[in-house]
Structure 1
């Protein structure tokens, strides 16, 4: 299904208030006169939870600026960039790492470490030299060949 290229709406609004102190917004009678108010846009975007969410931005001096920003938001959505103000850094990084793992053909690492049965492995030579109780005869012979002053 193709997305509608004409999504979103651009409108002008005002910060004027009525006698009760409520903002008039787009209903201000002065908006009909030229430069009063600022431009805004609103567009419905999918959210992380899957429910529809309306993104609103205002404060643009011209209609062209509002249209440019709306086009940028829609272009980001088409390319797969999620623009959600409520997305946390943890959510972003988790999604990013899962996507990266798919592109590398590796399954994503689990968030909690899995417990696997321990396998018995032969002790390494490095651990033998550190533990005097498990030292072998070849390490003691190497020790005896060193001068007494080095000990």
Structure 2
């Protein structure tokens, strides 16, 4: 009866040429105050890209650099809210402004459905806030830019 021995495992060399890691607090590892000031100046000089861009002439909504595919009516809704950013807009005002009509029947959920779709497509639930019993507000975020 023969005993099978397992196949030998290859021996991996230790990387003797690689130096051992130094502690993070070793002298020379921490930036100087001058380095920090230069970094802050460079950072302040960088152009900030807004998280949300409403491009009125191009009829585009851009979120984090990506175009959001909106229908004509969804874009009209976003554009109207963007022009009134930070202010509560009533449903009646949205009907008159974004739909250019007040013929929609009382109690219709048209605006609510379109707002829900814009929220889902943009991925930004906090962009449009529902003000219960009144209407909607597009939050004037630091990263919001209105072009046009």
Please confirm whether the aligned pair reaches a TM-score higher than 0.5, indicating the same fold: no
Tell me which structure has the larger Cα radius of gyration: 1
TM-score by length of 1: 0.20
If asked which structure has higher relative contact order (CA below 8 Å, sep 6+), I would say 2
